[in-house]
Amino acid sequence: MSESESPPPLVLLTGATGYIGSRLLTGLQDQHINVRCLARSPDDLPDDLASTTEVFQGDVLKPDSLSEVMTGVTTAYYLIHLMGSGAGFQELDREAAENFGLAAKAAGVQRIIYMGGLGDESDPQLSPHLRSRHEVGQILCSSGVETIEFRASVVIGNGSLSFDLIQSLTNRLPVMICPRWLATPTQPIAVSDVLDYLLAARELPPGDSRIFEIGSSDVVTYGELIQIYARLKGLRRWLVSVPLLTPYLSSLWLGLVTPASAEVGRHLIEGLKNPTVVKDDSALDAFSIRPLGVEQAMRQALEEEQS
């Protein structure tokens, strides 16, 4: 490379061992992008990483481990949440985002891309999980680094925790005693569309920090998601609504019939009482992506499972 040429862009990926992050890593490598992965446990990453991918051991809760990994980075993906850490996850998420934002600013990172959650910020009943997702986005934005925040509801894809919950419940329970939260409206999105948005965000022209709400064109209830899944699988299921099943009791119930732990299930279900629908469709103007419908997304997830 001559002195007049600038070095190729370097992308930092956090959460590369997670559901979205592992798939995003594949997408970045397929585009032959220079990637640097930050992982607490590098051994959990695939063995067949591309030659353009580096691995650094570090932890967003340990600021000293962030300065070196940020050096030379132009775009940083922040795909971390600490919901499985117990009752104090909000404080840990806050601390992690502050550490990351400070390190990114100090290193001259040009853009942070973050995946958060939908939900009405003005709702006093917004769940701790969704409120924490919004707070993390605000912290990253206030770091002074341009931040692109995507907010999504249920991600439909093989291996997604939300989809696993729907799948496990529907497969195992012919008759479901359903709490009121199954009537809450939501606007799911296929994991393939989430990845398309995350990849495309690298190419946005520089500007102010922005929030993009993303989802399919379909607004459905959680009960309807169960019914769509059952129909696609050829299952007959009956939903019996009751008013008294609280989020806490629901999480204990989920812990008996699904692979998710009761702790993570409780945080997820607390968020299910809040409508998670797109109110700002500016993502359709900023990107050429047209998300799949809910049934298409679910068919895609089932095809991926079978393959």
CATH entry, 10-153+189-215+276-291, from 3.40.630.30, 3.40.640.10, 3.40.50.720, 3.40.50.300? 3.40.50.720
pLDDT bracket for residue 212 (50, 70, 90): very high
Within 35-160, where are the H helices? 67-70, 89-107, 128-142
pLDDT > 90 in the chain, percent: 60
Q: At what angle do helices 247-257 and 161-172 cross, to 10 degrees?
A: 70
Beta bridge partners of 115: 150
Q: According to the model, what pLDDT value does residue 266 have?
A: 59
pLDDT bracket for residue 276 (50, 70, 90): very high
268: exposed, middle or buried (Cβ count in 10 Å: 0-12, 13-18, 19+): buried
Report d(CA 267, CA 299) in Å as an integer: 27
Q: Give the DSSP per-residue string, 253-307.
A: HHHHHSSS-HHHHHHHHHHHTS-B--S--THHHH----PPPHHHHHHHHHHHHH-
Q: Are 214 and 264 in contact (CB under 8 A)?
A: no
Indicate the pTM of the whole model.
Answer: 0.91
pLDDT bracket for residue 259 (50, 70, 90): low
Question: Mean of the pLDDT values across residues 25-41?
Answer: 95
Which segment of 49-53, 131-135, 247-251, 303-307 scores lowest on mean pLDDT?
A: 247-251
Under 8 Å CB-to-CB from 48, ≥6 apart: which residues? none
Say whether pLDDT at 166 is over 90.
no
Report d(CA 20, CA 26) in Å as an integer: 10
Q: According to the model, what pLDDT value does residue 168 have?
A: 78
Sign (positive or negative) of CA dihedral 276, 278, 284, 287: negative
Best CA proximity match to 238, nearest among 189, 297, 187, 177: 177
Q: How far is CA 10 from CA 16, 116, 266, in A?
A: 15, 23, 38
Spell out the domain ranges in the chain: 10-153+189-215+276-291
Q: Are 156 and 123 in contact (CB under 8 A)?
A: no
| CA-atom Rg of the chain in angstroms | 20
Q: According to the model, what pLDDT value does residue 139 have?
A: 98
